Chain A
């Protein structure tokens, strides 16, 4: 079984990523699938009835398209066709912070060790690291930094407010 990084550990990947929708028909009904948004939208009810379904978003897909289904999707993936295409970082934050998504948020595509720290800060908790790379090596990416100045998904209170708190101030509720 293929593997990925989930919650900062190497884990088996049960999910089949459907990039080409023609491929969908060949997948047994009990295999969990991640389908593209363009397939999800017209087939939503049938896919929900099937179960075991997640949706992946392309860089230019609007996460608002999943706003109504946030509670029903165990997995949302965001595609990074090239690691230098940073749109997915905003997509991740919007899913977590604006739409309140709490399920598995998976980064797929050109996912490499040197981007994991930032991706994690933007709300991703699963990483389908590119197949030619070593997962154990990629795990080291989480240790690049021990904090952020900014508001992040994993640490919503920015450093300047925590500095204040450490000086005897009060953390915001």
Chain B
């Protein structure tokens, strides 16, 4: 993974010093709350329902075991012994003290980490494919470009006070595992007619109050031009994005109101001036960045390990885990493993400090000392030898991270919700748990196959409910917590937004509602048809009828 040089280190060190002084001035009354707020937000610090929340950047989801141990330590020393992995591949701590934050940032800087721009109206952490570099379907490894984009977006002087937050996701593959269509900018590696690999750029996607699937603004941007093109998009957005209403301030609203063609014209005009300029990416820089993502020291292995094959044949529980949690690797004899942070009874995405330390040790033993965070809020060991999978499975079971449910109904994406977040209208974690408890029969879950269930506690959609095959949104009705259900959402290259099935439900009804939706699927599905495809074929009516008929 990327390692800081003296320049990178100086930026984070100077940032810590800057924020330490800003915090001091705020506590001394020299900065007002309004003046301090954007400064602390751009260092990841929210003031939450019960305490501040600190969101730490995990750039494009990559962590070293050393960094994870530091996170475990921070959880223990400054928080209550756990952290929460987010849908932006970041980690957040829910109980730090404002006064301690500069020290926490200093501890992070020592392991080449930071909390820069994890919140606020600026360019947020760049996200990407959690199988980057190991998936067989890649046109290019997105990680060197993600690092290029990280550096370009970090402390960008022109774009620190945008109309609203700005999220970028990058995919190097023909399969989109990074939800790129619902980002302010989505980037896909593509090959043009001349055989060159460049980027297709999408703009104006996003969830939140007004969910929109992104539009292609340019089918092909040469790799060397990508920063010039980004600067052009950002400048047009910064100048023309609405600032009169925070709910209409995202780039998606600008693109919609201005019309895509007009927006594109503005961007092209700006790009024309920047093309070939100093921000043009050099081959030398890409070569430098790429060296950090060179393949680790893989051993030459047969395509399939005999011991592994017989363990799968003999051990049904292991085979189930392999089927759901193990992803094929482009190098023979290796596999990528997803550690499920979705065990029933644990808030989705949470890990304790002890678990983090244990995962760091396992990463050292099994996966070259590195791991990834997925936007589905799980952890990944990307480079595990097949012959070691059985042993790793045993270790993960002991840790509670071997729940064989990746992609299944119980692999729920879920925001912290009303238990923590001051923005939330409703709790989300108890809803996730109630659904997980209802669907506790693994055989049944396997029969149901891939179903993405996403829960957000409010319109801000941190739980990505619009792109859940089943989406749940917490709403407030006269001070009570209710849940609106949508179906038909999906991420990926064919991303779609779910449709609301009708009036909302009380918390206690939610497991029944999900069960009825699933019943319709089971009765009406064609052979090998996924839930999302059945919904697309039938439309929402049969599902809606069942849910509401039963309710009366």
Contacts and interface: CB of A to CB of B under 8 A. Distances in A.
Given A84-B38, A150-B157, A90 B238 contact: yes
B318 to A, nearest CB: 46
Interface in A91-146: 91, 93-94, 98, 112, 114-115, 117-119, 121-122, 144-146
Contacts of A59: 243
B11 A122 contact: no
Interface string B267-292: 00000010001110110110010000
A6 interface: no
Contact of A150 (B7, B235, B279): B279
A149 B5 CA distance: 13
B161 A156 contact: no
Contacts of B163: 86
Given A114-B22, A147-B11, A150-B157, A158 B239 contact: no
B235 A90 contact: yes
B439 to A, nearest CB: 45
Interface size class of A (residues with CB under 8 A): 35 or more
Contacts of B121: 84, 86
A86 B161 contact: yes
Nearest to B162: A86
A95 to B, nearest CB: 13
A151 B148 CA distance: 13
Interface in B1-39: 5, 7, 10-11, 14-15, 18, 22, 31, 35, 38-39
Nearest to B35: A112
B278 A87 contact: no
Contacts of B7: 147, 159, 163
B279 A151 contact: yes
Given A86-B238, A144-B14, A158-B278, A93 B158 contact: yes
A89 B15 CA distance: 20
Interface centre among B14, B39, B154 (most CB of A within 10 A): B14
B68 interface: no
Contact of B278 (A91, A98, A148, A156): A156
A83 interface: yes
Nearest to A156: B278
Interface string B139-178: 0000000001001101111111111000000000000000
Contacts of A158: 227, 278-279
A169 interface: yes
B155 A149 contact: yes
A86 B160 contact: yes
A52 interface: no
A8 interface: no
A68 interface: no
Contacts of B152: 149-150
B277 A146 contact: no
A60 B18 CA distance: 31
Contacts of B5: 163
Contact of B243 (A85, A93, A148): A85
Given A145-B155, A147-B10, A160-B285, 17 more contacts: A83-B38, A85-B161, A85-B243, A86-B159, A89-B160, A93-B158, A93-B235, A112-B35, A114-B31, A146-B10, A150-B156, A150-B157, A156-B278, A157-B278, A158-B278, A160-B288, A163-B288
What 10 A-B pairs come out closest when comparing CB atoms? A86-B161, A121-B157, A118-B157, A160-B285, A149-B151, A151-B279, A89-B158, A144-B18, A164-B284, A90-B238
6 contacts: A84-B38, A84-B161, A90-B158, A149-B11, A149-B151, A149-B156
